[in-house]
Amino acid sequence: MTKTVVATGYGGPEKLAVQDIVLPEPGQGQVLIDVKAAGTNPIDYKLYSGYMGDDPAALPMPVGMEAAGVVAAVGPGDTVGYTGALQVGDEVIATNIRAGYAEQVLVDAAEVGHKPAALSFEQAAGLLLVAETAWHLLVKTRVGTGDTVLIHGGAGGVGLMAVQLAVARGATVIATASPKNHEQLRKYHAQPVAYGPGLADRVRGIGPVTAALDLVGSDEALDTSVELVADKSRIATIAGFARAAELGIQALTGADGGQEIRDASRAELLTLAAAGELSVIVDKVFPLEAAADAHRYLQTGHAQGKVVLVP
């Protein structure tokens, strides 16, 4: 038996419950992982909110798309992850999974990579989904050496990854955030600016912007990006979907071929993390049984980094 968090109905975090389930033995190409930490993401609560559909057949719905832990068992035949062969005892990260909020999780080996020793399990559990998303944004907006990129929401999970990866690509980064997060952004070599009235002028005071990433979806972020960036193909959003077509900018979901970009980035992201060139800020850690509280905190939008669950 393993404890697993599920949504028993559609709605808010109050629908989450911990259930005891029996996992089968790993099949061909599968591994069983003892979970040490599970990363939380807004998509987790959106899936059971009803916003993305409310099929009763999907209930109870397992929750959690990324986790870090130790391989407890492997299936027959070759079990090869995207960083090489997997064996019992390996410390690993699993992404693009279901039921990650658990004591154990059974996953396809193809979704598993070796955890960099430089990262704790809590950090590792919060690395890849946000980093893959940031990578996707930077690839699609062609950010590189000589660019100045404006990142809206630079202090969030995806934002902190986008800042680090943009700097690693040789770009100058301007990041919006509340003043309390400015010092943290400076540590990652970003130039912080406060959002609010006059944002475009404050950004202009730093310099011309060649690309923009919107991670918050506000009208201010979208309108400022369009005002400051001449080439609209170099503006991308992962939140402002309702206005993206109107403004002529990219709306990135991962569903239109972008998932291939994200998946292909994983080995390189782990290499960067292993070399100390990509770090994960863990904001809060909750016990598995407090998954509902973790989601309530996520929904405030005040998390400064990743929110993690531990069994």
Instruction: Judge whether 217 lies within some domain.
Output: yes
- Residue 220 domain-assigned (yes or no): yes
Q: How much of the chain exceeds pLDDT 90, in percent? A: 94
- Residue 84, amino acid: G
Q: In which band, very low, low, confident or very high, does the pLDDT at 301 lie, cut at 50, 70 and 90?
A: confident
- The answer as to whether 256 is a domain residue is no
- Whether residue 270 lies inside any domain: the answer is no
112 plus 143 within the same structural domain:
no
Question: Could you report the per-residue pLDDT of 98-141, keeping only the tens digit for each?
Answer: 999 999 999 999 999 999 999 999 999 999 999 999 999 999 99
Write down how long the chain is.
311
- 56: domain CATH number is 3.90.180.10
List the one residue out of 285, 292, 289, 269 whose CA is nearest residue 93. 269
Predicted pLDDT of residue 77: 87
Residue 134 and residue 231 share a domain: yes
Domain annotation covers residue 98: yes
Instruction: Among 6-15, 28-37, 248-257, name the one with the lowest average pLDDT.
Output: 248-257
Question: Considering only CA atoms, which of 127, 139, 145, 155 is closest in space to residue 272?
Answer: 127
**What's the CA gap between 134 and 137, in Å, rounded?**
5
Same domain, 12 and 84: yes
Q: Domain count for the chain, please give it.
A: 2
Q: Which two tokens stand for residue 68?
A: 């870090």
Same domain, 70 and 18: yes
In terms of residue numbers, what domain contains 21? 2-127+280-310
pLDDT at 305 over 90: no
Q: Are residues 120 and 55 in the same domain?
A: yes
Q: Quick one: 279 exposed, middle or buried, by C-beta within 10 A (0-12, 13-18, 19+)?
A: middle
**261 inside domain:** no
What's the CA gap between 70 and 87, in Å, rounded? 9
Identify whether residues 151 and 220 lie together within a single domain: yes
In this structure, are 180 and 151 located in the same domain? yes
Question: Do residues 109 and 223 share a domain?
Answer: no
Whole-model pTM over 0.75:
yes
Crossing angle for the helix pair 219-228 and 199-206, to the nearest 10 degrees: 40
